[in-house]
Amino acid sequence: MNLMRWNAFPEMSILQRQMNRLFEEATQNWNGDANTASGWSPETDIYETETNLILQADLPGFSAKDIDIVVENNGLTIRGERQFDAKVPPEGLHRMERSYGKFSRSFTLPASVDAQKIQANYKNGVLSVTLAKAEHARPKRIQIAATAA
């Protein structure tokens, strides 16, 4: 009989993402500001390269002009609103799984980001925000000088 070792980490990772999303959605309106009410939140990935941090948010059905990105006080905030299609009659609706209404996502920027060099691009329903690392935060290779022995 062959026994295989079970690795719980992939399942735990999925559970952690779901719990993070649950707590994020539950605490979005704790600041008491009715203007930041949010019924949904776009899924977002953040990864790092040698020179940049890259944030990618899934925003299908938006146009670039409907997305607002603000950098302020070491934070990056992405806001927008997905409108329900008024041409769809409510009596004809069988299922509604997509989220509608306003959203707002805020991220704390690390000190290594140069806020003056942030760029955003929206293509095929994905918002990509490139956060350039400050020159002093980038890895630097040091060459070893060869000496005669």
| pLDDT tens track for 55-88 | 999 999 898 999 999 999 889 999 999 888 778 8
Q: How many CB atoms lie within 10 A of CB 48?
A: 12
Q: Does a structural domain hold residue 51?
A: yes
DSSP reduced 3-state for 10? helix
| pLDDT tens track for 31-50 | 444 334 446 889 999 999 98
17-38 burial, b if ≥16 CB within 10 A, otherwise e? eeeeeeeeeeebeeeeeeeeeb
User: Nearest 10 degrees: CA dihedral of 112, 123, 69, 23?
Assistant: -80
Highest mean pLDDT: which range of 19-28, 40-49, 128-137: 40-49
Q: How many domains does the chain have?
A: 1
Give the range of the structural domain holding residue 130, as residue numbers without chain letter.
38-86+98-137
On average, the pLDDT of the chain sits at: 82
CATH number for the domain spanning 65: value is: 2.60.40.790
Q: Does a structural domain hold residue 148?
A: no
Q: Does a structural domain hold residue 131?
A: yes
Q: Does a structural domain hold residue 22?
A: no
Q: Does a structural domain hold residue 10?
A: no
